[in-house]
Structure 1
Amino acid sequence: MTWGIIAGMSALAWTAFLSLAAWLWLLLGQGFFWRTDVRLPARRDPDAWPSVAVVVPARDEASVLPLSLPSLLAQDYPGPARIFLVDDSSSDGTGDLARALSAQHGGLPLTVTTPGEPPAGWTGKLWAVRHGIAQARTAQAPEYLLLTDADIAHEPDSLRELVAAAHGSGFDLVSQMARLRVASGWERMIVPAFVYFFAQLYPFRRISRDRSRTAAAAGGCVLLRDEAAARARVPDAIRHAVIDDVALARAVKASGGRVWLGLADKVDSVRPYPHLGDLWRMVSRSAYAQLRHQPLLLLGTVAGLLLVYVVPPAGLVLGLAAGDGPAAWAAGLAWLVMTATYGPMLRYYRQPLWLAPLLPVTAALYLLMTVDSAVQHYRGRGAAWKGRTYTRPDRAEPAPDR
């Protein structure tokens, strides 16, 4: 391409080339985020299997417990393990159902407790986690804590594999991103992209590097060394965090702990999101919190999503319509790179590859969800979950010293 052609390029072509440059950087310079081969690190069975406390915060989870709790009760773990389900002021009989499932299925011993409503400055989940950890330390002084959500089902050897991975690789925190349910049309459109975008923000390969500042976890499945939890003062140190899994990993890494995150093969979410509204609420309730409630970050995110995801298909169509060869060429190549990087995630979720070129449509939906998250925040309804709405961290009252 000669300098004359460059000088004569249209604004559309310049925008398309900028989008292409962004995609080439994402392809090669963002920790190969698009690859899906980051699975559990090297496993080594310990000589003596350590004790593990499984902490399950649960609020109004009666609909999913029959699909998830039996999988925890049935864990084939060689060492001492016990489940602490914390009923977070449920109104649907979650605690009673958990006891009934334990009596029916047997397996690991189950303790069900209720901490009451969280005090000011705490999210309900983290208050429940704090209560569960305290109960576990009183009952058995565990070496490891498995923090897992009430909608997560585990294969029988999941806990064994997690502990062997932490022991064999020396990580203080080993987290697996559970495979989310993909059954309805909207789930197929949005769920794989959710994990794809998460990996783009927090490349898994960087998280496990000790010198990297990138830290994240997936709250549905976190195996945490109890000593590391105490050193990082979690959950107290992150008591107000809406995106608690990322905050947890950052706290552990900042205190000198080693963190690993990857995709799961034996851990699945059983929670259904059959309609667009269900998925919309899942994303929008925390999207603006991810941007630290900063309007400038919101504007930058909107501009970035438009440039990276909307410009490629729009630039190709407009470039072809206007006979603008450079714009069409650059935009088409950017769309091709985008499609290629999304393919591995679709294969991981066992979805057809023809969905890959539709990623710009999904990204546009995520853009609208993010904007809606900000709108709900300024209306006083941000970060709402099961009847609770949480304030910004800097507006929350400090927790008392304990």
Structure 2
Amino acid sequence: MISLIAWLWLLLGQGYFWRTDVRLPSRQDPDEWPSVCVVVPARDEAGVLPQSLPSLLAQDYPGRAEVFLVDDGSSDGTGQLARELAERHGGLPLTVDSPGEPPAGWTGKLWAVRHGITLARAREPEYLLLTDADIAHAPDSLRELVAAARTGAYDLVSQMARLRVESTWERLVVPAFVYFFAQLYPFRWISVWRARTAAAAGGCVLLRADAAERAQVPDAIRHAVIDDVALAQAVKRSGGHIWLGLAERVDSVRPYPRLHDLWRMVSRSAYAQLRHSPLLLAGTVLGLAVVYLMPPAAFVAGLAAGSVWAAVAGGLAWIVMGATYVPMLRYYRQPAWQAPLLPVTAFLYLLMTVDSAVQHYRGRGAAWKGRTYARPDTALDES
């Protein structure tokens, strides 16, 4: 019954997080298109760069725009490949530079972003587009982002790129990743001025340059492992107006063919999301068990034991759970019959979260591409 009540509340009281109709808001082309600098931090991205970088260089943008790719100590020739792709494809001007190893207290990505923003500021852009090296943009992506930001007077406009769902494990895990994110940060609440909820999707963030200076980013969030959420929090706390929604033509090309790959993606930052608190970890594990695992367990146990009330309560909670998951499955073009499998996926996320805590206390922290952050910080407390 507790689980059923929880699902009825999630259905109606959590910002309708399960709906997938939050897309770029209504927009009109501005009379004069502002200048934009695109900053791309990249570390060992030679495998995906041929699919992503040409899409940025080919942006059909009426105003002045250029791309800064910051090679964050790559060992696979990422920087040289970027130069070759620019020579081959043409398009927007490309600058490739490297900031060197990050100093103590900085994550590698944010140090690269800082370097890219410093280079960009010499061009005095009105907007910065922060995008990851594995993100492919439709030709009108930048135009649409700027038009939306101008029309809605947003300081930050972010789109959650559509992640790849080709392998069996991607189909099982990826839609739930976005579903859980939206449950934590309901998109409808993010753009509300007085709401405390703030989040962004790091793969695609259009940010006013003066808003970045006002929020002192990325310096104010230099410790953050979950840097996109920290960035949005910093901008909103400084008085900025922000927006986040699902993308239609912005896609991640990074493959996660094995469960191990997805496991690393989630576990490297899951415990940081819980602020490294054993109490929050225990509460999260209990909450996942009661909300996601209890409904099918109660349904099956109720049927086996002849307890009608247990079977009905568990079955209804399971139905509501699955119904809220169907829109996300449709967004990812997956069959609706996968919805009843959400408890299985939630159990995997429970294990990933526990493993994230274990790795943290072993001193491995948020390990990513050869770097380990023993005590990452996602909040702004230390800034």
Shorter-normalised TM-score: what interval?
A: over 0.9
Answer with 323-332 or 102-111: which moved more. Answer: 323-332
Q: Which residue of 2 aligns with 1:320?
A: 303
Please state if 1:112 is matched with 2:103. no
Asked if 1:310 corresponds to 2:298, the answer is no
Which letter maps to 1:88? D
Q: Moved runs in structure 1, 4+ residues, more than 2 A?
A: 391-395
Quote the sequence identity (%).
80
Among 359, 362, 371, the alignment partner of 1:376 is 359
Spell out the pairing of 1:128-167 with structure 2 (5 A cutoff). 128-138=112-122, 140-167=123-150
- Cα distance in 1 between the residues matched to 2:292 and 2:328: 17
Match of 1:364 among 328, 347, 356: 347
Whether 1:71 and 2:55 are equivalent positions in the alignment is yes
Matches within 5 A, 1:215-226: 215-226=198-209
Distance 2:359 2:75 in 1: 25
Q: Residue type of the partner of 2:222?
A: R
Is 1:205 matched with 2:195? Answer: no
2:257 aligned with 1:255: no
Q: 2:24 and 2:346 mapped to 1: Cα distance? A: 29
Matches within 5 A, 1:230-245: 230-245=213-228
CA drift of 1:393 comes to 5.0
Whether the aligned pair in 2 keeps the contact of 1:243 and 1:286 (CA below 8 Å) is: yes
CA-atom RMSD in angstroms = 1.3
* 1:275 corresponds to which of 258, 267, 275: 258
Q: Quick one: which amino acid aligns to residue 337 of structure 1?
A: V
Stretches of structure 2 lacking an aligned partner (at least 5 in a row): none
- CA distance in 2 between counterparts of 1:122 and 1:337 reads 43
- The alignment partner of 1:252 has SS state of helix
Distance (Å, rounded) in 2 between the aligned partners of 1:42 and 1:29: 26
Residue correspondence of structure 1 range 174-213 to structure 2 within 5 A = 174-213=157-196
> 2: distance between equivalents of 1:320 and 1:208?
45
- The answer on whether the counterparts of 2:159 and 2:247 sit within 8 Å (CA) in structure 1 is yes
C-alpha displacement of 1:172: 0.4
TM-score normalised by the chain length of structure 2: 0.98
SS at match of 2:50: helix
- TM-score normalised by length of structure 1: 0.94
1:251-300, Cα deviation, whole Å (9 max, x unpaired): 00000000100000010000000000000000000000000000000000
Partner residue, 1:103: 87
Which position in structure 2 is the counterpart of 1:355? 338
Deviation at 1:391, TM superposition (A): 3.1
Q: Which amino acid aligns with 2:280?
A: L
- Residues 173 and 225, structure 1, Cα contact 8 Å, conserved in 2: yes
Letter in 1 for 2:11: L
**Alignment partner of 2:41 out of 21, 43, 57:** 57
Post-superposition offset of 1:392: 2.2
For residue 43 of structure 1, give the secondary structure of its aligned residue in structure 2.
coil
Amino acid at match of 1:103: E
Larger Rg: 1
Q: Which moved more, 1:40-49 or 1:263-272?
A: 40-49
Deviations 1:187-231 (A, max 9, x none): 000000000000000000000100100000000000000010000
Deviates most, 42-51 or 84-93: 42-51
Q: Which residue of 2 is the match for residue 342 of structure 1?
A: 325
- Cα distance, 1:58 vs. partner? 0.1
- Structure 1 unmatched ranges of 5 or more: 1-16
Tell me, what secondary structure is at the counterpart of 1:240?
coil
